[in-house]
Amino acid sequence: MDNDLILLGHGSGGKLSHQLLSDLVIPTLSGIPPAGQNDAAVVTHNGQRFAFTTDSYVVDPLFFPGGNIGCLAVNGTINDLAMMGARPLYMSVGLIMEEGFSRAELKEILDSMRAAADGAGVAIVTGDTKVVPRGKADRIFINTSGVGVIEHDLAIGGNCARPGDRVLINGAIGDHGIAVMAKREGLDLESDIRSDCAALNGLVEEILKEGDAVHVLRDPTRGGVATTLKEIALQSRVGITLQERALPYNGAVKGVCAILGLDPLYVANEGKILVVAAPQAADALLERMRSHPLGREAAIIGEVTGEDDRGRLEIDTVSGGTRAVEMLAGEQLPRIC
């Protein structure tokens, strides 16, 4: 492998992405330590805490079952803010379009962005457009940035998981990644697999009612559930054990993954949240999540183990064994968000 070149795998959200960020991008730009690397930065002004984030979207195809690049970009940034326990307020939108891009498709994308923002109570207040020559981009790329206010004193972050905590998820794993891949590859699936793309700020408001029992919030997008939980285990210097029989899957997604040789634990999600919370609050939190439309399939899927297991992620299988789970290596499904 030529270490001088950027590969598709560097954008997978997995092991290569982490190496690029930790070896080059973060040390050059800011030097933020691993424990402080979360979905959004937390900044304080006049005693008030705010969350601030940015993300870029290059999904292919632009339109897929359950959404398009527009609502994906808006919901993605809203979710990054919500994962810090913030109430999303304002967003910017940057559009980079290729000469010849369809005005009708642009209108459909913009309408979707406006609907997603309105639905989440977020205002799009500024933006930018650029057009590059034909063949110099792939139709349209979108960048979104967002600001949200943190209206509590809770400490929520990837470094806050504690031994004994329970790990919860709000529903089925892998729907977004498989929906996009099926559309891209023209797979004729008998089942209707749709992206789970959604804004999670309303569900997070419900979760935060459990107060300081909530330690970590993280949406498992690129790299999937496995890579996200591995990140949390490393940041918090603990271990995490998943229970395979407790993992919620759409049966069709699991079937497609089995046929194509994909592990659904590494497939991207865009409307899922992983919650790490104190054990005494787990059952109440599960009921809170299930009371929300985006959490009806919520489940307790694992437990945080001791500091002696720091950085270890493993899964107890239905066959009675245990296997170690690492970050996604290379690129399983590129350009998924």
190 phi-psi bin (left φ>0, alpha ψ -120 to 50, beta other): alpha
The answer to whether residues 320 and 171 belong to one domain is: yes
Q: pTM of this prediction?
A: 0.95
Residue 286 located in a structural domain:
yes
Residue 334 located in a structural domain:
no
Cα 247 from chain centroid? 17
The predicted-structure confidence for 135-182, as pLDDT tens digits, reads as follows 999 999 999 999 999 999 999 999 999 999 999 999 999 999 999 999
The predicted-structure confidence for 43-93, as pLDDT tens digits, reads as follows 999 999 999 999 999 999 999 999 999 999 999 999 999 999 999 999 999
Give one DSSP letter per residue of 189-251, joined into a string: -SS---------HHHHHHHGGGGGGEEEEE---TTHHHHHHHHHHHHHT-EEEEEGGG----H
Query: Which has more pLDDT, 42 or 11?
Result: 42
Query: Nearest CA to 229 among 318, 317, 315, 143?
Result: 315
Rounded Cα–Cα distance for residues 204 and 83 (Å): 8
Share of the chain above pLDDT 70, in %: 99
Domain that holds residue 57: 8-150
The answer to whether residues 274 and 135 belong to one domain is: no
Residue 223 located in a structural domain:
yes
The answer to whether residues 300 and 209 belong to one domain is: yes
